[in-house]
Structure 1
Amino acid sequence: MARPRKDVKFQHRGSNGKARRPSMSMSEISENASEPGSPTRNGALSKSEPATQDPPPQSEYEKKKQNFITRTIWTFVMIGGFFWALFAGHIYIIIVVTAVQIISFKEVIAISNVPSRARSLRFTKSLNWYFLGTTMYFLYGESVIYYFKHILLVDRILLPLATHHRFISFMLYIIGFVFFVSSLQKGHYKFQFNQFAWTHMALFLIVGQAHFVINNIFEGFIWFFLPVSLVITNDIFAYLCGITFGRTPLIKISPKKTWEGFLGAWFFTTLWGIGLTHIMSQYKYFICPVNDLGANIWTGLQCNPNPVFIPKTYTVPFIPQGLPIPATFTFMPVQLHVLVLASFASLIAPFGGFFASGLKRTFKIKDFGDSIPGHGGMTDRMDCQFIMGTIAFFYYSSFIAVHKTSVGSVLEAAITGLTPEEQVEVFKILGKHLVNQELIPSKVLEYVNAQFKR
């Protein structure tokens, strides 16, 4: 009978018929024990390699201290950058507003982008940015054409773009709409239409309102800076008054807000608005509409000031004689408008913040993002600014703006509403008028008429 070979090993089975786990050899044990951090049989760590300990967790005080330092540094950075852009000229402030609206749009859209990636809907994000670009092209074009039509309508290349701007913008939107419908996937219809509606809501609340903020810049820096500063002042004093003597909760969606802080901020915001307007109205750089995008604080602007910046004397009726109360007061009419704007900033604009708070609670997030270290997202800082800028624009257009015929509006009417023959006739009549006013020599008109007869 042949003997079994020495190198053949048999698996020993227990009583349950399962193979018993082979035991480790001493060499394997010693090898494993020599690895960094490998436990030995008694649970002790290898003496050759000391155990690596995690750093102690940061205390709550250290976290608040670090956040306060970061927040303070970035606050001064933002303030410094803002005032640099303000003094550098209108085009730089427009760039700042454009960057703010793009970042805010990105933060709001990012809330709903995560589910789209999970569903492998690759075109959702691209469509969001396409609609953003289309909307900005339309709104920026509307502003540029309105305020600079005297330049655009006399340029051979820009004239077709200006006269057909709305049709071009609409066709760009239609392209995106068709692409969206073509990208619909079975099983994701409800989600994709929710995304479509979410994108349009973001465009309306962010890009649409930023359009009015930019129009405020074109109308004069004071109509941009005043609403911005009123919101900031109201926010600061709402906090200070709230922590000082705030007792009564204001609204459930924002439990830290109090009635005392709400009303106290209204008072101090009004005082700030009156003082700031008095200072800014002394400089034409702040009160003149834009007629030169290259202007800055050193070159300044020239214009005939709006009548609201010219002091007027008002008589107070029904004051009995003999009382130590003046019967007349002299101040700029814009001071009365500041009272209204300060009330809007104190009573209406905070609801933009309440809306943003409700939106964050809906999605269970603390901040919209981390675009600004120590402050959270850009939207967290601008939630009240967008609605305040919109209010300021419509109030200015309705009660303050002086509507008069401009060179741009006359050119627009002549170019778009008259035939070439009628335009020539207008030119001849206007030339004759200028000769009669002795503004141009008669030989110039004679030469031009001779050229037309050829």
Structure 2
Amino acid sequence: MLYPTLHKSPSFLLSKGTLVKLTKFSPKKKTTVIMDSKLRRRKMSTKGNADDKLDDASGEDSIDEESDREKETEATQPKSKSFDWKRFVVRFISTWAMIFSFIGIIYLGHTCTAILIGVLQVFAFREIACLGAKPRIDIKLPNFYLLHWLILIGCLFYLYGQWLLTALAEEDSMQSIAPFIRFLLRSHTFVCFCLLCIGVVMFVIALKPGFYRYQFKQLAWCLVTAFAIIALSSLTLWNLSDGMIWFLLPGFLIITNDIFAYMVGATIGQTRLIELSPNKTWEGAVGGGICTIIMSAFLARSFIQHEFFFCPKHGLSWDIPHCRPDPVFVPVDYTLPPHIANVLVHLNLESWQTWKLAPIQIHAVFFAMFASIIAPFGGFFASGFKRAFKIKDFGDSIPGHGGITDRMDCQILMSAFVYYYRKAFVHPHSRSVDQILQEILILNGDDQKKVFDYLASLLSS
């Protein structure tokens, strides 16, 4: 096709991302059209293999990077629009519905809360797994989606199997359950390996020519999702088992930081914190962090007033736990260093030299620092992830709020920090009763009797 000389400039944009360069028109010569590398690649891609054709059809290799940058820049610019009252009402109602539902579940106890955690994990996994799927391709791969659920079931059984085994053993319920379930729990590690083998066999059988790359991408996607969502969030359950406070306090600190950061940022915020979240400001982050640290000590103090919050609960019963408070929840007197105490004496503040605090209040300050400084990056990570896929929310499970993952992004990172912090600083170098019970349960009957006789002799003496 010949292009006449329409502009004095030797080149012009024929279409978005396609640069066409024209030579000077001559009746004796045909016009030479030079295409840019993107258009050339697009034409050459038709000669690729089946997998390359599939990727081109799905739009993976034909994304215009400059257009993406323009869209992201436009997305970060504030848009002036009228207030959406309908969306506000829906969000307001769903927010209070979540609050009252959460309070009701907490009131029902540890077991109901553990069930809630499992349900949220399944919904979050489903939201992320669906993002990586392509319906046009999945139609040509019947039953391949079952791989997602097999990975989910295997991951849940691996992470929760030992916890369930310990819970049943603590209630002396192992002999009352069905023999098949008892076998699954006692052979937990072997069953997990069998599930892995079944998954590998099913995946290989499901491989279909022309879709290899897509299928392996889906496998990697699901494995990474299982680690990021299921494995990390399962630490929340272990925190809950050691006391409701280890579950509620971190979550409340995240909420507190969000509220105060928004209030301070909306009032005096001027400096943008990060490009991924244009509404977040340095002023809001600093102000929210200070308020969260102050509130952390008061929140921790309020939780240790009731044994329902600090008593561990490892069984599956619905009973309210009772226990003697761990030393970490008992207030003790702390005296300030001498050089600080001398300053207080000169200021006639001698009463401030000694503070009565529970160790959990000091730990709560470090939790608040993490919730203010590091945990928000879980939200920023989620924001970048959504921008990469050009979506606003991960799902629509919660009206007005998006998906479960949209509400849990910071909480997952926070719960993981609390779990490892407790192992390192709250109860370091100590083996829990759960771990000892698990080892006793895998012994045969004679060895278990020896352990029982030895403990009986110790108690009698």
TM-score by length of 2: 0.75
Query: Does residue 170 in structure 1 map to residue 190 in structure 2?
Result: no
The residue type paired with residue 243 of structure 2 is G
The residue type paired with residue 78 of structure 1 is M
- 1:127 paired residue among 147, 152, 161: 147
Contact 1:315/1:328, CA 8 A, preserved across alignment: yes
Per the TM alignment, residue 109 of structure 1 is displaced from its structure 2 partner at its CA by 1.2
Query: Does residue 93 in structure 1 map to residue 113 in structure 2?
Result: yes
- How far, CA to CA, are the matches of 2:428 and 2:309 in structure 1? 17
For residues 176-199 of structure 1, the C-alpha deviation after alignment (integer angstroms, 9 at most, x for no partner) is: 122112211122111111111111
The residue type paired with residue 418 of structure 2 is A
Counterparts in 2 of 1:244 and 1:183: CA distance versus 1, 3 Å: same
The residue type paired with residue 393 of structure 1 is Y
Contact 2:170/2:314, CA 8 A, preserved across alignment: no
- How far, CA to CA, are the matches of 1:206 and 1:342 in structure 2? 23
- How far, CA to CA, are the matches of 2:418 and 2:86 in structure 1? 37
Query: Does residue 306 in structure 1 map to residue 326 in structure 2?
Result: yes
- Corresponding residue for residue 397 of structure 1: 423
Provide the identity percentage: 38
Per the TM alignment, residue 268 of structure 1 is displaced from its structure 2 partner at its CA by 1.5
Counterparts in 2 of 1:332 and 1:431: CA distance versus 1, 3 Å: closer
Per the TM alignment, residue 280 of structure 1 is displaced from its structure 2 partner at its CA by 0.9
- How far, CA to CA, are the matches of 1:429 and 1:363 in structure 2? 61
Counterparts in 2 of 1:275 and 1:181: CA distance versus 1, 3 Å: same
Query: Does residue 315 in structure 1 map to residue 341 in structure 2?
Result: no
The residue type paired with residue 369 of structure 1 is G
- How far, CA to CA, are the matches of 1:159 and 1:367 in structure 2? 41
Counterparts in 2 of 1:416 and 1:268: CA distance versus 1, 3 Å: same
- Corresponding residue for residue 123 of structure 2: 103
- Corresponding residue for residue 246 of structure 2: 223
- 1:369 paired residue among 395, 398, 422: 395
- Corresponding residue for residue 252 of structure 1: 275
- Corresponding residue for residue 369 of structure 2: 343
- How far, CA to CA, are the matches of 1:429 and 1:257 in structure 2? 61
Q: Helix, strand or coil for the counterpart of 1:305?
A: coil
Q: Helix, strand or coil for the counterpart of 1:85?
A: helix
Per the TM alignment, residue 401 of structure 1 is displaced from its structure 2 partner at its CA by 3.1
Larger CA deviation: 234-243 vs 356-365: 234-243
Aligned length: 373
Counterparts in 2 of 1:273 and 1:358: CA distance versus 1, 3 Å: same
- How far, CA to CA, are the matches of 2:123 and 2:442 in structure 1? 38
Query: Does residue 290 in structure 1 map to residue 313 in structure 2?
Result: yes
The residue type paired with residue 194 of structure 2 is M
The residue type paired with residue 273 of structure 1 is S
Larger CA deviation: 111-120 vs 329-338: 111-120
Per the TM alignment, residue 308 of structure 1 is displaced from its structure 2 partner at its CA by 1.2
For residues 116-149 of structure 1, the C-alpha deviation after alignment (integer angstroms, 9 at most, x for no partner) is: 6456122332110111111111111122234554
- Corresponding residue for residue 381 of structure 1: 407
- Corresponding residue for residue 234 of structure 1: 257
For residues 196-231 of structure 1, the C-alpha deviation after alignment (integer angstroms, 9 at most, x for no partner) is: 111111111111122101111111111101111111
Q: Helix, strand or coil for the counterpart of 1:155?
A: helix
Counterparts in 2 of 1:385 and 1:406: CA distance versus 1, 3 Å: closer
The residue type paired with residue 233 of structure 2 is A
- How far, CA to CA, are the matches of 2:439 and 2:401 in structure 1? 49
Contact 2:165/2:186, CA 8 A, preserved across alignment: no
Contact 2:138/2:144, CA 8 A, preserved across alignment: no
Counterparts in 2 of 1:183 and 1:399: CA distance versus 1, 3 Å: same
- How far, CA to CA, are the matches of 1:206 and 1:336 in structure 2? 29
Per the TM alignment, residue 403 of structure 1 is displaced from its structure 2 partner at its CA by 6.5
Counterparts in 2 of 1:428 and 1:114: CA distance versus 1, 3 Å: closer
Larger CA deviation: 137-146 vs 245-254: 137-146
- How far, CA to CA, are the matches of 2:108 and 2:457 in structure 1? 43
Q: Helix, strand or coil for the counterpart of 2:144?
A: helix
Q: Helix, strand or coil for the counterpart of 1:329?
A: strand
Q: Helix, strand or coil for the counterpart of 2:287?
A: helix
Contact 1:116/1:124, CA 8 A, preserved across alignment: no
Unaligned runs of 5+ in 1: 1-58, 438-454
- How far, CA to CA, are the matches of 1:427 and 1:370 in structure 2? 53
The residue type paired with residue 250 of structure 2 is P
Per the TM alignment, residue 301 of structure 1 is displaced from its structure 2 partner at its CA by 2.1
- How far, CA to CA, are the matches of 2:373 and 2:383 in structure 1? 17
The residue type paired with residue 198 of structure 1 is W
